Amino acid sequence: MRAARSPLAIPPETGYDQRMAFTLGQLRLSSNLFLSPLAGYTNLPFRLTIRQIGGARSATSTAGGACRATSAVGLCTTDLVNARSLLEKNRKALKLIETRPDDHPLAGQLYGTVPEEMRDAALALESLGVDAVDVNMGCPVRKVCLNGGGSALMSDHEKAAHLIRTMVAAVKIPVTCKMRLGWDDANITAPDLARALEDAGVAAITVHGRTRQQGFSGRVNLAGIRAVAQAVQDIPVVGNGDITAPQAAKRMFDETGCAAISIGRGAFYNPWIFQHITHYLGSGELLPEPTFDERLAVMRRHLDLMVEVFGEEHGCRKFRKVALQYSKRFGPTKEFNRRIVRLSSRAEFDDIVTAYRAWRTQFMDEHDNLKRGYEPRPLEEVSTISMPPGPNELW
């Protein structure tokens, strides 16, 4: 296996575990745990919610940029946005990249196939203060692939490398790439593509350990991610897929040799996952799961941000599918889920919670814990997570 990349090591600051430090091009990140882009979900309210869970740390630019506060997650990435739509200042595209000063370090993810459009879109993101640009070469959705974008780029290495080279030459911020292992099991192209993109100047590569054909079915292929990590010389490889608990994160590091991990669905299922992984990797101990009241407090904060960013009606409507992910750790949820899918106002959320608390008591023991048989499965036993379809169904 490839030796550890010493240029990535950063001296620990204020006791922070050196194993978690990370560099991405010119960026110095305090954590090698990242939030993946997840279409329809990783909007500004969710990113802010994730950043607010866990101890505050910092990230700076090695070029002398100002220190920016962040949480146990080292880098968040926006929902994927079409480069052409961004250049046309499409209202929905601009909403996808909406950010704030406390939403950093932040990468903006682009998809597209025209080098000049991708270059100009990267420049636009840079002008808005985004810290890195990520190129989507992994989206399996048919409408994206039919236009030659997403996973389809993995089948044309020369085209993909030219795209990256054009963007790298235009911007000063790091350009990264997210890919899958290949189109299908007969076409595992990620190692060769990773070498081509490294030559083109990409700063890092994230690998989701499944093929385009798989979507999210089956188990993530850790050996496939390891092959990509061994294929490149000097850039970090970020592992992605099936990170649902701290033990899964450690297994990803141990079995792939990746320099960082990126978490998508697992973060929606368990927003505390970054804090829990950080603690586990540093101490070998598992933190207890958040209490029911702690989960409700974070849900309320998330909903408040959704209302603030999207307005009450639209924010509540978008929060319906979010709430269904939080509730998976509540125990029995029939009464909660029945009402939350019709949520239309902030005040209604409090009414739903009050009614659910009363309904939930029938499943509680004398110590106010869920009775045996009603507890959710331990996180380490959750290998895959299903989510409602986003705008790009399988990404």
**Residues noted as catalytic:** 139
Span between the terminal Cα atoms of the chain, in Å: 30
Q: Would you state the structure tokens that stand for residue 383, as one six-digit string?
A: 């290998």
Q: Would you state the structure tokens that stand for residue 381, as one six-digit string?
A: 């036993």
Buried b (16+ CB within 10 A) or exposed e, 84-113: bbbbeeeeebeebbebeeebbbbbbbbbbb
Buried b (16+ CB within 10 A) or exposed e, 193-209: bbbbbbebbbbbbbbbb
**Single-letter residue type at 339:** R
Q: What is the CA radius of gyration of the chain?
A: 21
Structure-token match 């904060």, residue found = 301
**Single-letter residue type at 218:** G
Q: Count CA atoms closer than 13 A to 265's CA, side-chain side.
A: 19
Query: Cis ω on the peptide bond leading into residue 376 (within 30° of 0)?
Result: no
DSSP one-letter string for 27-86: EEES-SEEEPP-TTT-SHHHHHHHHHSS--EEEEETTSPPPEEE-S-SEEEPPPEEHHHH
CA dist 189 and 296 (Å) reads 44
Q: Give 251: exposed, middle or buried? Use CB within 10 Å, 0-12, 13-18, 19+.
A: middle
β-strand 68-70 against 22-24: which pairing, if any? Answer: unpaired
Q: Count CA atoms closer than 13 A to 220's CA, side-chain side.
A: 23
Structure-token match 């030796």, residue found = 3
CA dist 37 and 24 (Å) reads 17
Largest CA distance in the chain: 65
